[in-house]
Amino acid sequence: MSETPRIALKAVTKRFGAETAVDAISLDIAAGEFCVLVGTSGCGKSTTLRMINRLIEHSDGEIHIDGQPIREIDPQRLRRRIGYAIQSTGLFPHWTVARNIALVPGLLKWSRARTRERVEELMDLLGLAPSEFADKYPAQLSGGQAQRVGVARALAADPEILLMDEPFGALDPITRESLQEELRRLQGRIRKTIVFVTHDMDEALKLADRLVVMRAGRIVQQGSPDELLAAPADDFVTSLLGGRDRGLKRAALTPVARLMRRVDAGLPVEPAVAPDEDLRLALSVMLWHRVECLAVVDGRGRVCGSLHLSDLMRAGI
Amino acid sequence: MIAGLAPSLSRYGRGLVPLLWGAGLVGLLTWLPRAEAWFRWLAPEAREVIYPRDDFAVLLLNHLALVGVASGLAILLGVGAALAVTRPWGRDFLPLASQLAAMGQTFPPVAVLALAVPSLGFGALPTVVALVLYGLLPILRNGLAGIEGIDPAVREAARGMGMSPGQILWRLELPLAAPVMLAGIRTSVTVGIATAAIGSTIGAKTLGDPIIAGIVNGNSAYILQGALLIGVLALTLDSLFEAVTPRRG
Ligand SMILES: Nc1ncnc2c1ncn2[C@@H]1O[C@H](COP(=O)(O)OP(=O)(O)O)[C@@H](O)[C@H]1O
Ligand SMILES: [Mg+2]
């Protein structure tokens, strides 16, 4: 990469008293990249994240945003430029949803009309009907709705960078998955630079352009989900990736379209999968129906190809 | 403390209650001097039945002034201290402040008065000092509870969004702590109304005067008059607090 990374950590260290929470970490994150920090509890993920918006001051090394050392930027101005969403949302309980979302635009002294327009735009974007939710208080929201408001608030002033600390960690599995789906879809549209912390490897694999595996304050390995699954650096990364379960995890990252044969040779329409579904699901369907070959059916219900177990085996998925 | 009196009144209705009690107080002030016939049966032998030494209005205003000054100081000091020890630069004193606030509840007001006399003499000054010291503690305690009770995640988010410490104080901490703080001030003022009456024993001019005189002269009519005025005054102020306490629903 020749251009300046949006966020650059250069040998960044954080010590709390005698304890070193983050130990000489170096990391470049490009503009528009979805970077996920993953690792066991207490390995320094949150500390790393919170150093980027100066909620925690780093002890050593340098952090740059667009080439500028963050120590040169006033912390409050820096934070207003960076979205921040946390697991417990931290919504203001005495403010309505609309007012919560308008927090940073308010700090930046946007006009009332511009703020209101932006709040409505974000509520629509996150699937919160303004007529229903704008005047509600946080206590009246479900966990998933509150987290959507938290994400909307983080995006309100259209920051280039979004920091998210286990934002979906407290949600039930179904809500969590649908929010992951939506965040991925959203990122496709808004292309922010996202640093996302989680200890849930499935979540990390699903969301990341780049995975950064941390252990005891250090980076153990980084790369695309595929790269890590194909060649985990050591036993720790292997076990974090699910050990012997990682064959299925990797299959879950690959769409059916990549391995399907275009010829459809008069297959029955059942059992079938869609081209944008993943190979893990396809394997499950094969197991269920005890077949080695599936029809691939597009959105209009037409057979557009076939998927063969033997191709999966050859591809080394 | 009389919240149960008007549980279903609207906001408008809640504002009406203190007005009614206030009107009752004024009514009492004008009626008492002419109510000899009503009190005679309590003191059939006495030469005077209605407390004669001071106008009730003068006693009431004096009483209110003492409590007003003392409560004003107690609020300033109590809220100020609660805010100070919850700032990053004052955190070191938080344990001390908490202990002080907890300890004060076990200390009877009469003891505070008795302690104030040797150093400050008799009259209004030691009464005010005792009222401030005693009234400070519930305000401090509730102030601390209100601010410490705020979800740390909310404060973390506020900082993370780029709010300044001043903005966090005014838009977050004070509004969220206000109901608990107000409850402390309410307790302090209501207790202060009653405690100020004890100031009469050390020479402050308060609504306690008729009560002390009544006890000394064995005149139950005086006692009842003082007690009535103190009671209605306390209820007026308490309902005023009830009316201004914010509630979210
Ligand atoms: N404010 C703090 N003071 C002292 N130690 C801290 C503080 N914040 C975090 N730590 C320590 O730093 C280490 C890393 O914490 P953290 O970054 O929160 O881990 P993670 O988010 O990966 O679970 C932990 O050992 C934690 O106890
Ligand atoms: Mg953490």
Ligand 1 proximity of A43 Cβ (cutoff 6 Å) = yes
Is the pLDDT assigned to residue B121 strictly greater than 90?
no
The pLDDT of residue B21 is 94
Q: Does A77 touch chain B (CB under 8 A)?
A: yes
CATH says B9-244 is which class?
A: mainly alpha
Closest C-alpha among B63, B31, B30 to residue B194: B63
pLDDT band at residue A65 under the 50/70/90 scheme: very high
Q: Which residue, by CA, sits nearest to atom 6 of ligand 1?
A: A16
> Which is nearest to B230 in space by CA: B76, B83, B85, B64?
B64
Describe the crossing of helices B220-244 and B208-217 by its angle, rounded to 10 degrees: 160
In the β-sheet with A34-38, what is the strand arrangement from edge to edge? Answer: A82-86, A161-165, A193-198, A34-38, A210-215, A218-223
What pLDDT, in 10s, does the model give residues B25-69? 999 999 998 888 888 888 888 888 889 888 999 999 999 999 999
Q: Is A88 on the interface with B (CB under 8 A)?
A: yes
Task: Give phi and psi for A204, each to the nearest 5.
Answer: -60, -45
Distance CA B184, CA B135 (A): 9
Ion ligand 2 contact residues with beta carbon within 5 A: A 46
| Closest residue by Cα to residue A64 from A130, A101, A12 | A12
Contact list in B for residue A78 (CB cut-off 8 A) is 162
Q: Which atom of ligand 1 is nearest to the CA of A48?
A: 17
Q: What is the average pLDDT across B144-165?
A: 96
Compute the distance between CA of residue A262 and CA of residue A295 in angstroms, rounded to an integer: 10
**pLDDT (mean) for A179-192:** 93
Q: Rounded to whole angstroms, what are the CA distances from A280 to A259, B88, B129?
A: 12, 52, 77
- The verdict on domain A254-314 having CATH code 3.90.1280.20 is yes
Name residues 120-159 of chain A within 8 A of B (Cβ): 137, 150, 153
pLDDT at A317: 60
C-beta of A16 in contact with ligand 1 (< 6 A): yes
The CATH code belonging to domain A7-250 is 3.40.50.300
Residue B202 CA to residue A141 CA, distance in Å, equals 57
More confident residue, A107 or B122: A107
Contact A58, A14 (CB under 8 A): yes
ipTM (interface pTM) = 0.86
pLDDT at residue A9 tops 90: yes
Domain ranges of chain B: 9-244
- In B, minimum Cα distance to A50 occurs at B160
B167 touches A at CB < 8 Å: yes
For residue A15, the SS3 value is strand
> Which position has the higher pLDDT, B213 or B14?
B213
Contact status of B169 with chain A (Cβ, < 8 Å): no
Q: Among all ligands shown, which has an atom nearest to the Cα of A86?
A: 2
Q: Using 50, 70 and 90 to split pLDDT, how confident is the model at A230?
A: confident
The pLDDT tens digits for B180-213 are: 999 999 999 998 998 899 889 888 999 999 999 9
A84/B155 touch (CB, cutoff 8 Å), yes or no: no
Q: Do A63 and A101 touch, CB atoms closer than 8 A?
A: no
Whose Cα sits closest to atom 26 in ligand 1?
Answer: A42
Task: Point out the ligand nearest to the CA of residue A17.
Answer: 1
In angstroms, the separation between the Cα of residue B32 and the nearest Cα of chain A is 47
The token pair at A30 is 């490009």
DSSP string, chain B: --GGGSTT--HHHHHHHHHHHHHHHHHHHHHGGG-HHHHGGGSTT-S-SS--SS-HHHHHHHHHHHHHHHHHHHHHHHHHHHHHTTSTTTGGGHHHHHHHHHHHTTS-HHHHHHHHHHHH-SSHHHHHHHHHHHHHHHHHHHHHHHHHTS-HHHHHHHHHTT--HHHIIIIIIHHHHHHHHHHHHHHHHHHHHHHHHHGGGGT--STHHHHHHHHHHT-HHHHHHHHHHHHHHHHHHHHHHHHH-----
According to the model, what pLDDT value does residue B30 have?
Answer: 92
pTM to 2 decimals?
0.85
Closest among B249, B146, B207, B190 to B3, alpha carbons compared: B190
- What is d(CA A224, CA B6) in angstroms, rounded to the nearest whole number? 65
Residues of chain A with C-beta less than 8 angstroms from the C-beta of B154 = 90-93
From chain B, the residues in CB contact with A53 under 8 A are 160
Residue B16 has pLDDT above 60, yes or no: yes
Percent of chain B with pLDDT over 70: 93
Q: Where are the domains of chain A?
A: 7-250, 254-314
Note whether B177 contacts A: Cβ–Cβ < 8 A.
no
Q: Is the CB of A89 less than 8 angstroms away from the CB of B158?
A: no
Interval between CA B32 and ligand 2 midpoint (Å): 69
Q: Whose CA is nearest to atom 11 of ligand 1?
A: A21
> How would residue B134 be classed by pLDDT, with cut points 50, 70 and 90?
confident
Whether A7-250 shares its CATH topology with A254-314 is answered no
- Residue A10 φ then ψ, to 5°: -120, 105
Q: Which residues of A touch B156 (CB under 8 A)?
A: 55, 86, 90
Asked whether residue A94 carries a pLDDT value surpassing 80, the answer given is yes
Mutation choice for A interface testing from B161, B168, B169, B172 by most A CBs within 10 A: B161
Is the distance from the beta carbon of residue A91 to the nearest atom of ligand 1 less than 6 Å? no
